[in-house]
Chain A
Amino acid sequence: MNHRKHLLGLEGMSAEEITRFLDTAESFKEVSERSVKKVPALRGTTVANLFFESSTRTRISFELAEKRLSADSVNFTTSGSSVSKGESLRDTAQNIEAMRVQMIVIRHSAAGAPHFLASLLNGSVINAGDGAHEHPTQGLLDMFTLRERWGSFAGKRVVIVGDLAHSRVARSNIHGLVTMGAEVVVCGPPTLIPLDIERLGVSVEVDLKQALEGADAVNVLRIQMERQQRGLFPSIDEYARRWGINRQALKNAHKECIIMHPGPMNRGIEIAQDVADGENSVILDQVTNGVAVRMAVLYLLSGGSALENEETTPQQTETRVREGKQVA
């Protein structure tokens, strides 16, 4: 396995590597439970958080992850920056890197913005959400939260409900969960489901009751009001009635069906109040786990800069000889 430099998406990532991220995150979860929530692992590493789109959870989560690893971090948001004077993404990023920043976390409304930076810069680039493309750390933290409950993904049915067309969270979840062996069903208004989404290895179900039949987990996507000007469904009311997750809709799901939501929630629209706060909801666990997962991502991407180092040769390649005989 080659050393990974960037985290741009979960598409194409092997099960082995996903497992590695999840296992490492498990160790980091313990750090946040300590009274001194800090380890010196990334001391001397500078990380820039470039948020060209607003965010509460992801930005704070990355910032905490960086601080708990002892990295130095700087934050950038569009308002109050030279972007409002018309500076391009390329110039902004190159100027920030010129100040010797080693890692860049980027959220951008344009799909592919992190890939563009990865091809341009020397440092590591982490995608914190690009347009409707991917949000890999969210995908990893959702899987981490599920694995914590289940142990493994085999035979589990995960239903992703909502605006599939605009959701980067859905895309990262789909790539990751399918790779890890879960059965993934997507559900929502037909106008919000991309035509060829089956090609990603999922099945499509328009009727929510059908979709939730025997579900082990449901990941409720946010109705993105800011992207809903084109009238892709008749009304919020109708959406809430047909695709809103409430107790009634969950009747046919598994009794312990896990409820997830990436936030921010529109309570009463895509998710009912009592379900969001119910006993099977892991919505706040997702947030807690987000910090551990992002610590793992930062740590694994920053490590192993010296691939040629002699000591990196794994011991297994050595022959071991005892009393003239080769031993295992």
Chain B
Amino acid sequence: MSVYYKAVLLDKDAIRRAIKRIAHEIVERNGGVDDLVIVGIRRRGVPLAKRIADTIAQMEECNVPIGALDITLYRDDFQNVLKHPQVGKTEIKEDITNRVVVLVDDVLFTGRTIRAALDELIDFGRPKKIQLAVLVDRGHRELPIKADYVGKNVPTSENEMVEVHLEEIDGDDEVLLAEKAS
């Protein structure tokens, strides 16, 4: 099995601009930053959440609390898909009850990750609102889930893959479109 990279969907600058725009939209839509908590979904949602929070903090000159969710234990397919399920740590230090929680992930695809994240989040409290921010929305939803903030909409086919590289994890910033072929 080989993976062929077909195109660069977002380069370093495009990612930076997308994050900046999402940060502005979050502040605008919520009329400020009161009650805001930004929660990234492991793994690549976490650095994205941090970047969004940092951007908002800079713009509004305030502190924006962040958190991290590991949804492995809430997946509906862990016993079928994962040979050695790797469990990371969930870190929600804030009380999220009556707060506005913005969930952050890199790619929105079937929506199942978000479903699991919603379930887990609600075990920590009852937020006033939960909103969703993603860097790339590639379509093919299997659940009725929609993002509130999208870096880029990319129509894809089912056998294509969207690969997100982030400085903090992969050493570079880039979003690539790839296809598997044998």
Contacts and interface: CB of A to CB of B under 8 A. Distances in A.
A26 interface: yes
A38 interface: yes
B160 to A, nearest CB: 14
B73 interface: yes
A192 B153 CA distance: 71
Q: Is the interface of B mostly helix, strand, loop or mixed?
A: mixed
Given A1-B84, A3-B84, A303-B84, A26 B74 contact: no
B84 to A, nearest CB: 6
A302 B5 contact: no
Nearest to A324: B4
B83 A304 contact: yes
Interface in A116-154: none
A307 B73 contact: no
Interface in B79-117: 79-85, 87-91
B79 A302 contact: yes
Contacts of B82: 303-304, 312
B89 A36 contact: no
Contacts, number: 88
B2 interface: yes
A309 B5 contact: no
Contacts of A200: none
A304 to B, nearest CB: 5
15 contacts: A27-B70, A27-B87, A27-B90, A36-B123, A38-B123, A41-B72, A296-B87, A300-B84, A303-B82, A303-B85, A304-B82, A305-B79, A311-B81, A318-B180, A323-B5
Given A41-B72, A309-B80, A318-B3, 11 more contacts: A27-B88, A34-B123, A39-B120, A299-B87, A300-B84, A303-B85, A318-B2, A319-B1, A321-B2, A321-B3, A321-B4
Interface of A: 1, 3, 20, 24, 26-28, 30-31, 34-36, 38-41, 69, 296, 299-300, 302-307, 309, 311-313, 317-323, 327
